[in-house]
């Protein structure tokens, strides 16, 4: 049974003039490159800070016998590894597409974030396991050394978090590193509390208890990152895109009678793509090129999409000659209708 014809919405968004697409895509490309360079510098700075402090924590943890310090150093190691991986992925992502990899290497950044999240889960499990072993007979901890190293760590993590905060909103790799740093910052607070409790009350159980707290913090940040990366790898719609609004904006253009087979996904951070089949009125006065430019203007400027592929059709029958329609958009109901397709 053919899919329904799609009615036009009652209210039309303001019409926009079609810009030169070459100019728009060039500006978007230059902006993306500038963001990548800024993110690279910030990641490199954070890597130097975190690596230096990680070495200090390992030495301090061994000398003081503090599992909290060693646990935080283990997390710092994953931070350093994840930042190094993110830097490598960013470098590879700038390589040009080829006949074998037509999208280039953008997905390496997502894969780096996935590897980072999985490593965090392993580290979290190890910390909790080691802490559990110490609950029965907590070792003696040198509180002064723990306090000193923990205080320095707090300063380092605050500096690293400040450096990464701006770029974390725009890049999944940087966001992963930022979440690590925030967890480390809270971990440094836990280390300081552990040192205070041991120094003031001789309560050595504070070390394994707060180590578990650090492990839980790591697991929380890992889970958040894992959910986001899996969503990208499953070609999920970006959170910032409302498909109903996008389709309504297309249907509101004069000459457009319907939209179906809509796909919006994220290739990598800052690189969102769209493909859609757009049904047009064959008797409309506007030419197909003019209509296509209007639709692209909406996608590029109103929804900030970086890669747009639109197929214009005069009706469902033209589409069905090649494959059955997967889904149609009914603007008045805000839902997908139609029968499953056999491609």
Tell me the pLDDT tens digit for each residue of 219-231. 888 898 899 999 9
Q: Is the pTM of this model over 0.75?
A: no
| Percentage of residues in the chain having pLDDT higher than 70 | 77
| Percentage of residues in the chain having pLDDT higher than 90 | 17
Residue whose pair of structure tokens reads 């297309």 in the numeric block: 250
Domain residue ranges of the chain, discontinuous segments joined by +: 32-233, 238-337
Q: Is the dihedral of CA 10, 13, 16, 20 positive or negative?
A: negative
Query: pLDDT per residue over 178-226, tens digit each?
Result: 877 777 787 778 778 877 887 778 777 887 888 888 888 888 888 988 9
**Most confident range, picked from 43-57, 136-150, 159-173:** 43-57
d(CA 205, CA 193): 12
Q: Tell me the mean pLDDT in the region 9-30.
A: 44
> Which tops the pLDDT comparison, 120 or 19?
120
Give the lowest-confidence range in 80-89, 136-145, 235-244: 136-145
| Predicted local confidence at residue 227, as pLDDT | 92
Which residue, 248, 234, 228, is CA-closest to 303?
248
| Alpha-helical segments (H) within 202-312 | 206-233, 243-251, 288-297
Which residue, 199, 321, 55, 179, is CA-closest to 207?
199
Confidence band (pLDDT; 50, 70, 90) for 237?
very high
CATH superfamily of 32-233: Cation efflux protein transmembrane domain (1.20.1510.10)
Q: Tell me the mean pLDDT in the region 57-75.
A: 75
* Cβ contact 257:281 at 8 Å: yes
| Predicted local confidence at residue 274, as pLDDT | 96
* Cβ contact 326:343 at 8 Å: yes
| Predicted local confidence at residue 322, as pLDDT | 52
Q: Tell me the mean pLDDT in the region 132-148.
A: 72
Give the lowest-confidence range in 36-40, 162-166, 305-309: 36-40
Q: Tell me the mean pLDDT in the region 245-252.
A: 93
* Cβ contact 93:104 at 8 Å: yes
CATH code of 238-337, in short, is 3.30.70.1350
d(CA 216, CA 153): 19
Pairing between β-strand 335-337 and β-strand 271-280 as defined by DSSP bridges: unpaired
| Predicted local confidence at residue 29, as pLDDT | 52
pLDDT surpasses 90 at 294: yes
Distances (CA, A) of 165 to 14, 168, 270, 284, 340: 35, 5, 16, 49, 43
Q: Tell me the mean pLDDT in the region 318-341.
A: 48
Q: Tell me the mean pLDDT in the region 29-43.
A: 69
Q: Is the dihedral of CA 296, 298, 303, 304 positive or negative?
A: positive
Query: pLDDT per residue over 80-99, tens digit each?
Result: 877 888 788 878 877 888 88
* Cβ contact 157:54 at 8 Å: no
Radius of gyration of the chain (CA): 26
pLDDT surpasses 70 at 275: yes
The number of helices, as runs of H, and strands, as runs of E, in the chain is 9, 5
Which residue, 162, 183, 161, 167, is CA-closest to 71?
183
* Cβ contact 308:249 at 8 Å: no
Helix (H, G, I), strand (E, B) or coil at 280: strand
* Cβ contact 123:86 at 8 Å: no
Confidence band (pLDDT; 50, 70, 90) for 251?
very high
């Amino acid at each position: 049974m053919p899919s329904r014809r799609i009615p036009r919405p009652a209210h039309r968004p303001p019409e926009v003039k079609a810009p030169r697409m070459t100019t728009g895509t060039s500006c978007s490309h230059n902006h993306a490159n500038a963001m990548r360079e800024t993110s690279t510098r910030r990641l490199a700075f954070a890597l130097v800070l975190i690596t230096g402090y990680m070495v200090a924590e390992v030495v301090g943890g061994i000398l003081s016998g503090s599992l909290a310090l060693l646990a935080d150093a283990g997390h710092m190691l994953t931070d350093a590894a994840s930042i190094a991986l993110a830097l490598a992925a960013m470098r590879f992502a700038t390589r040009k597409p080829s006949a074998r990899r037509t999208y280039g290497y953008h997905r390496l950044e997502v894969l780096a974030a996935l590897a980072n999240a999985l490593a965090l889960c392993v580290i979290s499990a190890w910390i909790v396991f080691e802490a559990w072993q110490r609950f029965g007979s907590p070792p003696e901890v040198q509180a002064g050394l723990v306090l000193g190293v923990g205080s320095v760590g707090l300063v380092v993590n605050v500096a690293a978090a400040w450096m990464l905060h701006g770029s974390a909103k725009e890049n999944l790799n940087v966001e992963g590193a930022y979440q690590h740093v925030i967890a480390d910052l809270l971990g440094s607070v836990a280390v300081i509390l552990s040192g205070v409790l041991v120094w003031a009350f001789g309560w050595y159980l504070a070390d394994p208890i707060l180590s578990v707290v650090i492990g839980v913090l790591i697991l929380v940040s890992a889970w958040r990152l894992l959910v986001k990366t899996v969503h990208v790898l499953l070609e999920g719609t970006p959170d910032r895109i409302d498909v109903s609004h996008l389709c309504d904006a297309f249907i509101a253009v004069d000459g457009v009678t319907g939209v179906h087979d809509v796909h919006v996904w994220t290739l990598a951070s800052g690189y969102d793509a769209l493909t859609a089949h757009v049904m047009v009125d064959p008797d409309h006065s506007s030419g197909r090129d003019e209509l296509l430019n209007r639709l692209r203007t909406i996608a590029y400027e109103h929804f900030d999409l970086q890669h747009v592929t639109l197929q214009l059709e005069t009706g469902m029958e033209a589409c069905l000659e090649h494959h059955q329609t997967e889904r149609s958009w009914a603007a008045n109901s805000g839902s997908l209708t139609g029968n499953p397709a056999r491609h």
